[in-house]
Structure 1
Amino acid sequence: THTHTHTHTHTHTPHTHITFFAVSVSKLQFSKLPAEVSVVVELPLKQHLCKVKALNKGDANSEVTVYYQSGLKNLREHTLMELLVMHMEEPCFDFLRTKETLGYHVYPTCRNTSGVLGFSVTVETQATKFNTELVELKIEEFLSSFGEKLSALTESAFNTQVTALVKLKECEDTHLGEEVDRNWAEVVTQQYVFNRLHREIEALKQMTRAELVSWYLEHRGHNCRKLSVHVVGFGPEEGDPPGDGNGERDEEECGSSSYGEVSKLTFLPASPKMAAATSIMDIPSFTQSLTLFPYHKIIQ
């Protein structure tokens, strides 16, 4: 018996790839998708509070996020914000979780909303234990103490944090998916900065302690753009009757969904505790008078 093996060799040249692509395009006959550009509003200089009641009457969980908007910034400033948030992580946990025991989940976040930079501090708590406005005051207390801590930061401690963030950015991808996700994000946002990590590392190596301190104080001064968002759970600390917030609901309520529609959000005014904040009682009417940022890419 004779076995004949036929080997077919295909040479893949750039020309064959281009030809194949052209044939595919003509066969598919697709049309260009409309370009959707996210619109971001510039927050007013006065602090605003958006406080809404949770949708589920049986839920005691509350969440407080205090957000400081920075604006349209460049790659260096984005890296500086990352460094600031990294400095904030441990003291944030120590103050709000360990010392004040406000909740298990407390964390600062570096925010990049379609190219508009900012940072926030979030606390997840329960209305059976704490009032959201008290939580906000504690977040403010933390941010004030952090400012003092940052001003007293030594060069050595600053350099340690810079090195830690550089090492984090130098970490090799554990799987191909990480590299794909990173590069695909550049394509989707049409920024195409495929060496972003390298450029961020270079920026980090040139940063100074004084730059970090002034960057933080800039966001905390009279010109800060601050938005507080409270989702208020059900419980005695929020003035709800006993039984609310512990999962108990009457027969009639259990018969229907305990989740309301988004259009039926219940907006709550600020109490005297937060008299300095302007309450948002209707989101569209709040945003329609605000300035819109032009579409911005963090590419240099």
Structure 2
Amino acid sequence: MGAINVLCWNFERNGADDPAKRLRAHEKLASLKPHLILRQEMWGAEANGNTIIYELEGALGLRGWLGPKSCTAVFADPSVFRAVREWPDTGPMWVLPPAALTMRYVPAGNEATPLSVVSYHLNYASATHRLAEAEWLTTWADKRWPIPGDDNLTIPAILGGDNNGYPVRGAAGDPALPDMAKIRDRRHRLHRSYVGPDGRRQMDTRVDETLRTAGLEDVARYRATLPCGSATAVSRTVDGCSTHGPDARIDRIYVTTDLLAAVASVDVIEVPLDVSDHHIVRLRLDGDRLSDILNRQPVGIGATHGQLGEHVREGVPQ
């Protein structure tokens, strides 16, 4: 199989009870030919017997799974990704619980290793709570699946969502950390910072550090730091504003390191502010390499040099 398109998007307030806006936004997602979508802010999707989920399944042509409390969702092309387990009990710490599944990549065959797929939305107001949530997120990089001859095999994972915090700057073009003194909204200064070991408040990068410590890599940073990489992989996912500070890369997709060899490209597709306050992150995976990895065949890291297309930045049509 060729390119596998994975999209991650926090669509603001799920369209804020505007069905026409919600439909236009998801028609845009459908135009990107996704095989897997990690959605956040699914507010109201559980109402009236999950009617909004079924509406969005129709618009996307995908199967959908709604996370607890309608905070998150996963949508998948059932001919490409098939669920083999749901994780409704996501742990005790969540304000906005993730949608978490174990899924089989169908083209890899039934004997291949499945993978964890998680859409998450970390806490907005508390850096302390965000850190605990990030630590719970790492449990999906530590799942096992019974494989004949290897009962202790840890399966790969793809996690994407709204981190409400910043990555450690590690690639050319990555938005710089905000200067806290220049963030006018004092509540927002608190929400996006923590008190460091020296007793001084600093901008919060601990989620990124936590996930990378556990063997999860930010695919945008990975692509941008390859010799053939492009700085557009680390483009902003939220626009700067006078109260909240400059452009930032709040939305990120992480994969376990065993999947890095399948990462073909990463880009950010911008949407107008009147559609959502977050842009769409797109990850393209090489489907053949993904099959090899899940069938436990050796694949060289960095072997895919973006041959599946150029990075793009485009808006949602009005």
Give me the TM-score of the superposition, normalised by structure 2: 0.27
Q: Answer 1 or 2: which has greater helix percent.
A: 1
Look at both structures and tell me which one has the larger radius of gyration over its CA atoms: 1
Q: Answer 1 or 2: which has greater strand percent.
A: 2
Give me the TM-score of the superposition, normalised by structure 1: 0.28
Give the number of the structure with larger relative contact order, counting CA–CA contacts within 8 Å between residues 6 or more apart: 1
